[in-house]
Amino acid sequence: MNKPHDFADILSVVHDVTEKIPFNQVLGLTVESLDLDHPTVRLSMQEQLIGNFIRGSLHGGVISSTLDFMGGLVAFLSVLKSLQGQPLQAMAERFARIGTIDLRVDYLRPGIGRHFIATGYVLRTGKKVSVTRMELHNDERQLIAVGTGAYTVA
């Protein structure tokens, strides 16, 4: 039996996978914290992410992309325990294979800010499906959008 990986190793796997996803690079998504109770992902405002050029606010698709990534991340963290002892490569593949079944996003306020923080948590993880809730705040701690998603984790 392999010895359990250091948390630092797992963190490093998640960072690697996150950054290997081409569209995450376009968005500039970075995993800020993998605290199991309060993971956070950061999105910095860029000119090219604007959807409403009158208000200078984020495109709705940038918001849903970020919340979708956050949902997949917390779904992955919820199955991490069951992966203890597996090679890091297997963990990375498992993370990369998590799939979104469906996602609802509620747009509450215009996405205006210098940067944005996504958070999320798992409502329930079963054998096949994980259901998650996500939130996006701007740098003034205003709630910009929320999401709920179902993800395959099998």
| CA dihedral sign, ordered 100, 102, 107, 108 | negative
Q: Using CB under 8 A, which of 14, 105, 134, 136 touches a copy of itself?
A: 105
Q: How far apart are the first and last CA of the chain?
A: 22
The verdict on 11 binding a copy of itself (CB under 8 A) reads no
The verdict on 114 binding a copy of itself (CB under 8 A) reads no
Residues 54, 20: Cα–Cα separation, whole Å: 33
Look at residue 113 and give its three-state secondary structure.
Answer: coil
Please give the C-alpha separations between residue 72 and each of 13, 21, 77, 137, 153, in angstroms, as whole numbers.
15, 13, 9, 18, 9
Are the C-beta atoms of 98 and 75 separated by less than 8 Å? yes
| 14-53 binders of a copy of itself (CB under 8 A) | 20-27, 47-53
Q: Using CB under 8 A, which of 32, 88, 109, 121 touches a copy of itself?
A: 109
Q: Using CB under 8 A, which of 64, 78, 119, 138 touches a copy of itself?
A: 64
Q: How many residues bind a copy of itself (CB under 8 A)?
A: 51
Which residues bind to a copy of itself, rule: CB under 8 A? 20-27, 47-54, 59-62, 64-66, 68-69, 93, 96-97, 99-109, 123-124, 128-129, 131, 133, 143, 146, 148, 150, 152, 154
